[in-house]
């Protein structure tokens, strides 16, 4: 056996590099803007920091905005409706819930001032999502770039392809797999619910009429059930009220989400279902005990997510304004 300390140091450094630079789509490049916009990452970082100062919910919103764009990462979620297409902003998974457009628009203005017509809106969104996580105490990962903005959007596609919090785990997994992700990605990307809020209608069925039984979800922690019934009473006017997805550390990106699932305190049925399936429960348990493992895997899965359906090279465009094509 090799007892040379330098040998183990080399292995450690190599492993660290693999963590910091997860494998990405070969069409994307970690140094894509090195020459054309060297200050890009600092501009985005500052823009996100300013947004979080004004609204502590914005970290979760930017992360969700990127996720909802990246079942085909082309900036389509940012487009407003036009005469030729109905966009994604009013699709069921996005209506009255997806937000943060003005933050991306503001960052885009700053980026255009520094690097005119060089950086796509979809790349700005991908970097902003990373910053939202990192500035909330979560992991940092390197974002490969080179995505170009698409020319259209589809409300119908968003309705059909985006996972819903009221869907069974099998349906959600199938939608991930259809995009080249896997069951592990489902579990690790669900960990984004360690920050942010959900509207009452997305989980109210668990409180009063679980699967048509007229009774609450028997797996839901009794103390949490009592609390949620007071904040989300069984009346229609409470449907859009907000509750934190993780009430223990609502604005901190950590592994408390998984600890909550282990103690039957997941807010959404689709989240708690991860503990009801042995294929995913062991991953949840691992992340609840080892936050570094969650952070490492989250960065890698975000790179995979950000590589779905990208437009590169001469395909697509660099939008001057994120809400409309040039």
74 labelled ligand-binding: yes
Q: 3-state SS of the chain?
A: CCCCHHHHHHHHHHHHHHHHCCCCCCCCECCCCCCCCCCHHHHHHHHHHHHHHHCCCHHHHHHHHHHHHCCCCCCHHHCCCCCCCCCCCCCCCCCCCCCCHHHHHHHHHHHHHHCCCCCCHHHHHHHHHHHHHHCCCCCCCCCCECCCECCCCCHHHHHHHCCCCCCCHHHHHHHHHHCCCCHHHHHHHHHHHHCCEEEHHHCHHHHHCHHHCCCCCCCCCHHHHHHHHHHCCCCHHHCCCEEECCCCCCCCCCCHHHHHHHCCCCCCHHHHHHHCCHHHHHHHHHHHHCHHHHHHHHHHHHHHHCCCCCCCCCCCECCCECCECC
76 labelled ligand-binding: yes
217 labelled ligand-binding: no
163 labelled ligand-binding: yes
306 labelled ligand-binding: no
246 labelled ligand-binding: yes
88 labelled ligand-binding: yes
Query: Which residue among 64, 66, 68, 206 is the active-site one?
Result: 68
219 labelled ligand-binding: no
Told to judge if 66 belongs to the known catalytic residues of this protein, a careful annotator would answer no
| Active-site annotation, residues | 68
Q: Which residues are annotated as a binding site?
A: 69, 72, 74, 76, 88, 163, 193-194, 246, 249, 254
Q: Which residues are annotated as a binding site for substrate?
A: 163
Q: Which residues are annotated as a binding site for Ca(2+)?
A: 69, 72, 74, 76, 88, 194, 246, 249, 254
Q: Which residues are annotated as a binding site for heme b?
A: 193
């Amino acid at each position: 056996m090799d007892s040379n300390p330098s040998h183990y140091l080399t292995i450690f450094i190599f492993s660290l590099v693999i963590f910091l630079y997860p494998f990405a789509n070969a069409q994307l490049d970690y140094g894509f803007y090195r020459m054309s916009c060297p200050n890009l990452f600092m501009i985005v970082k500052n823009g996100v920091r300013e947004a979080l100062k004004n609204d502590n919910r914005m970290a979760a919103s930017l992360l969700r905005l990127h996720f909802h764009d990246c079942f085909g990462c082309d900036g389509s979620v940012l487009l407003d409706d036009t005469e030729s297409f109905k966009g994604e902003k009013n699709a069921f998974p996005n209506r009255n819930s997806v937000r943060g457009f003005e933050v991306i628009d503001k960052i885009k203005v700053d980026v255009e001032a520094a690097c005119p017509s060089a950086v796509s809106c979809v790349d700005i969104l991908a970097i902003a999502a990373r910053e939202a996580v990192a500035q909330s105490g979560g992991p940092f990962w390197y974002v490969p770039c080179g995505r170009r903005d698409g020319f259209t959007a589809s409300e119908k596609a968003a309705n059909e392809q985006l996972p819903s919090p009221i869907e069974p785990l099998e349906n959600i997994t199938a939608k991930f797999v259809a995009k080249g992700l896997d069951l592990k990605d489902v579990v690790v990307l669900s960990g984004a619910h360690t920050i942010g809020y959900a509207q009452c209608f997305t989980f109210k069925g668990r409180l009063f009429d679980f699967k048509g039984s007229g009774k609450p979800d028997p797996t839901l922690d009794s103390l949490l059930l009592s609390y949620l019934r007071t904040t989300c009473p069984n009346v229609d006017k409470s449907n859009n009220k907000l509750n934190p997805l993780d009430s223990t550390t609502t604005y901190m990106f950590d592994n408390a989400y998984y600890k909550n699932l282990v103690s039957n305190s997941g807010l959404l049925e689709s989240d708690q279902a991860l503990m009801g399936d042995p294929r995913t429960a062991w991953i949840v348990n691992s992340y609840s005990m080892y936050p570094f493992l969650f952070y490492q895997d989250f960065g890698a899965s975000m790179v995979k997510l950000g590589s779905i359906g990208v437009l590169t090279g001469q395909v697509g465009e660099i939008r001057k304004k994120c809400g409309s094509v040039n």
